[in-house]
Structure 1
Amino acid sequence: MAKKNKTPNLYDELNFARFGVISMHTRVDQSITHWNTEFAVNGRTFRIEAVTPQGRPHGIDTDTLVALETLFISHDCPQDNWVHTTAYEVRELMGLANNGENYHRLRQSIRRLYFTSVIVGRKTTLAGSQRVAWDNVGVRFFEGLRYRDHDDDGDLNTLDSEATLSIRLGEQLAESIRAGISHVLDGHLLHQLEQPPARALYRTLQAHRRQDDGSLLSELRVPLVDWRQATGLTTDRSDLVRRALTAAHDELLANRYLESATIEGRGKSAVAHYVFADTNSADPALVVMLRQAGVSVARAATLASLYPERVELALQFLEQRRMNAGGTVRNPGGLVADYLQNPEKYAVPAEFTPPAQARQEQAVRRHQKAEHEAQQQAEAHLERLGSASPVEQWESQRSTLQLILKKQLNADQWSQLEALACAGEIQAVDLTRTLIAATASTGLKEAVDQLRRRLNPLLPLEL
């Protein structure tokens, strides 16, 4: 995987990451297009049934899904669940080299995920009995797909890197992300890990170690028979499972994500035991911020644990130094680390306003000015309309009134308001002024109640 100096935060939906549908393997038997698993990790039991016409998702499919989830969030989670991007942008987020082979791999990956259908079962115990039941739901990674590709000698189909690539996330996946059931993955670490199995294992470990309250386990113990299913390893042979996990363990240990990774015992009693590095000593969010500023992995964890209260100020100081230097600072990671360890070396003026605070204050002033100008324009517009006919007033204010009153009046009341406004018994311009003022002063309910009584004094106030 290509190394990058700057990596974005990457986002991953938790439930889908726990399902174990995407295999750690870099190669799978593509003739197997239907499979079932059942496993338990950290007190959660899963039953998975999958249909995979293009073969089970594997290899870089983890990177593909995370990149598209990240783009979905960066696009403010569109209500139609579509992500409109390019193959170039997705590949960049994945950290893959810019060549035809990777556009071919990305095409195959997207198609595997698109064709995969999954039924997920959640185990429940029926009240008043010992019987076990399963609540099942069908889910998909993607529900829509539009792309342009090229033929290469009739064999190697590659995505057009610059053409629009449109992917619609599955309804459950999109709604889950929209509901906040996702977490941040360390993009720097993902781009440091060379092999897809290590990246897939990192994603699986992060999902299962996260508790419902958002905290992270410092250790995770899972029976190997369950862990094989949770990581999508398709072999039943214990020695092959150990071999596949060991290679990924080595990368995660070398990059200081894991403190230790062992498989204890043998046969069906074997247990995978993970101890995570620096879980309790540093806030992961602060570590990520320092990493993005250029601080090394081990040093970022140490500094975040020793000086948590100064991390944000150090990053603001770095930003100010960049502004003063025209955007470039030599060795920014070293500067941040030294600022944290030796703050007395850096003279910060008493009147210093951190860049983030200065930007926030400037943004507030711009917002206030824009609001004031918009209010003046709106008032001038209403003044001009004051002499217009009742029908003209209604036509000009209909959309504004509808926006304010759409949840306040029923269809009959809205029709009655329109009739009275067009007859001139209610001035649409005056009504707009009243409702806008009431909204600004949190008196909208009282204003609407008065309007309802005027429409029909016999109507109840509560709809």
Structure 2
Amino acid sequence: MAPRKKESREPVVIDSGSGYDELNLGRLSLISGQKTVPANLRTWQKNIVTPDGRPVIITCSTIDQQVIPHGLDNDFMVGLLNLCFEAGLPDGPFTVSAYGLLKAAGFPDSAQYYRSLEESLVRLNKAQYTIDEGWYAQGTQRWTTQSFAQVSYLAYQRSTAGVRETSVITVQLAPPIMDSLRSGYIKPLDLKFYRTLSQPLVRAVYRQLDTLQFDDAAPSGLAKELQFPLMGWASRLGIVSDRPDNVERTLRPAHEELLANNYVRQVEITGRGKEKLIRYVFGPPAVSEHPELVSLLMDRGVKQGVAVRLTLVFPDRIEEAARRFDHYVATSQRPIGNRGGLLVSMVQRPEDFANLPGYGAAPSPGAGAAQKREARSGQQQVGTRAPKVDQDIEVLEARAQAHIEGLTGAALYEWVYRQLSVVGVMKRLSPHERGLLEEAIREGHVDGRQLVREMTRRMHAGVHAVEDAIADLRLQVTPQ
């Protein structure tokens, strides 16, 4: 068993334009975007729909007479997510100074914001959420039910005047949030732009839209527009009103600011009363200052919109990630189903790919001529490997194969689900068909390992073979 990471005790601070958002938190919007809420609002429930169309019920309740999380709590939570990355995603609590958390949230160093910081941390620790079959677990690629407080552990120092810049704060984020961060269920967040937005509700609308815009089915990887029932959109954002005219009025300043910044180029509300719909048309794609890095990513399978976002947020990581990717492609003996997704992961989570067998980082500018020639030679001889590399890869693949052969029941289905998701099969099946497939694999009526091999082969044989493969799979799992 690998040693557990120790608690991070060194105060850390983040003050850059690059950052992350966890996709569940961004999509579910667990914190009300309103700057203020009624003082007696201690619980709420809302209904949303997952990206694959299933309804989800989310509830929030607080203790100790606390009001629900709202307003600036969103910003402090974004700060904590990014500080957690800075701390190395520790297994236990991590520590930061109050000043560091203010900076990570994008706020000035003032007594007012130190008071807000303390109040927010308490609310994030006291509010309990239950998400019914709506939290996506990246590891198993399944929707799960979760119940947690976003900050599961909290300790801090305060003087008689309250929290100050040197106060040490120790927090631990909820286990499902940490699992999600470690598994890479994240997206780049432009903290520089996020911090320019003037009010909590503007930032909440931006964060929600920016998460929902990411769409694997879109040609560029980013949706061009989104549409929602107006009252459902208000519920997502935590706007406390049952009157459509009040919701429109509340959202108007946020819309005006996002339009002025060209993040959206059109906001359209149509219909009458509670049947109104709201439609957002996104502005022109961001222009990268590093077109050569965009091309580098796109040449390796990353969609244009996602490539631009990555170069805006992580420009210093792209070239090294591409080198690691090229090495992996050249040495892997297994087909890579989603090349673009793999490279995105290498950019977002470089630490997960730090120990690729046989890989050495590019030579430094001061390296000798012989070392540089050796590196160039290795890049030119794609497909050739040193014996030690072959041995390392063979050992890893043998271990992986032995593990797969030993899977049964639910564990086997979870492995099949992941493999078929990578090649695009699972999204073609209805929830009912997925249930039939799970039952067939669990009971041994379908050989999951053979199914993955056959479906992977046929999914790479052209569009007609894909349709035939899906039809055959449906026949296999449908009761006769």
The two structures have a TM-score, normalised by structure 1, of 0.57
Matched letter for residue 270 of structure 2: E
The match for 2:422 is: none
Q: Indicate yes or no: 2:155 matched with 1:143.
A: no
What number of residue pairs does the alignment pair up? 298
The match for 1:361 is: 363
SS at match of 1:58: coil
Match of 1:122 among 133, 136, 151: 133
Give matches, 1:48-67, under 5 Å: 48-53=58-63, 54-67=66-79
Q: Indicate yes or no: 2:233 matched with 1:231.
A: no
Q: Indicate yes or no: 2:116 matched with 1:110.
A: no
C-alpha separation between the residues in 1 aligned to 2:165 and 2:147? 32
Q: Indicate yes or no: 2:48 matched with 1:39.
A: yes
C-alpha separation between the residues in 2 aligned to 1:364 and 1:218? 46
SS at match of 2:363: helix
SS at match of 2:169: strand
Match of 1:79 among 84, 87, 91: 91
C-alpha separation between the residues in 2 aligned to 1:270 and 1:442? 60
The match for 2:452 is: none
Q: 1:180 to 1:255 in 2, by over 3 A?
A: same
Q: 1:58 to 1:123 in 2, by over 3 A?
A: closer
Q: Following TM superposition, by how much is the alpha carbon of 1:441 offset from its aligned partner in structure 2, in angstroms?
A: 5.3
C-alpha separation between the residues in 1 aligned to 2:101 and 2:130? 27
Match of 1:241 among 242, 247, 250: 247
The match for 2:175 is: 171
Output one character per residue of 1:374-426: Cα deviation in whole Å (capped at 9) or x when no partner: xxxxxxxxxxxxxxxxxxxxxxxxxxxxxxxxxxxxxxxxxxxxxxxxxxxxx
Output one character per residue of 1:41-63: Cα deviation in whole Å (capped at 9) or x when no partner: 65353210111232111111111
The match for 2:108 is: 97
Range 210-219 or range 259-268, more displaced: 210-219
- Cα RMSD over matched residues? 3.9
Q: For the Cα contact (< 8 Å) 2:156–2:168, is it kept in 1?
A: yes
C-alpha separation between the residues in 2 aligned to 1:263 and 1:202? 17
Q: 1:52 to 1:30 in 2, by over 3 A?
A: farther
Output one character per residue of 1:166-207: Cα deviation in whole Å (capped at 9) or x when no partner: 110000011111111111111121121111110111111112
The match for 1:204 is: 208
C-alpha separation between the residues in 1 aligned to 2:255 and 2:170? 35
Matched letter for residue 39 of structure 2: Q
Q: Following TM superposition, by how much is the alpha carbon of 1:37 offset from its aligned partner in structure 2, in angstroms?
A: 1.1
The runs of 5 or more residues in structure 2 that have no matched partner are: 1-14, 136-142, 295-304, 320-360, 372-386, 397-480
The runs of 5 or more residues in structure 1 that have no matched partner are: 1-5, 125-133, 153-157, 291-300, 317-358, 370-436, 447-463
Matched letter for residue 60 of structure 2: A
C-alpha separation between the residues in 1 aligned to 2:16 and 2:182? 23
Q: Indicate yes or no: 2:29 matched with 1:20.
A: yes
The match for 1:341 is: none
Q: 1:365 to 1:222 in 2, by over 3 A?
A: same
Q: Following TM superposition, by how much is the alpha carbon of 1:224 offset from its aligned partner in structure 2, in angstroms?
A: 0.9
Matched letter for residue 260 of structure 1: Q
C-alpha separation between the residues in 1 aligned to 2:232 and 2:166? 42
Matched letter for residue 284 of structure 2: D
C-alpha separation between the residues in 2 aligned to 1:239 and 1:141? 32
Matched letter for residue 208 of structure 2: T
Q: Indicate yes or no: 2:282 matched with 1:276.
A: yes
C-alpha separation between the residues in 2 aligned to 1:364 and 1:84? 38
C-alpha separation between the residues in 2 aligned to 1:286 and 1:179? 28
Q: For the Cα contact (< 8 Å) 2:146–2:176, is it kept in 1?
A: no
C-alpha separation between the residues in 1 aligned to 2:167 and 2:19? 23
Q: 1:147 to 1:312 in 2, by over 3 A?
A: closer
SS at match of 2:70: coil
Q: For the Cα contact (< 8 Å) 1:139–1:170, is it kept in 2?
A: yes
C-alpha separation between the residues in 2 aligned to 1:183 and 1:265? 33
Q: 1:444 to 1:196 in 2, by over 3 A?
A: closer
Q: 1:64 to 1:364 in 2, by over 3 A?
A: farther
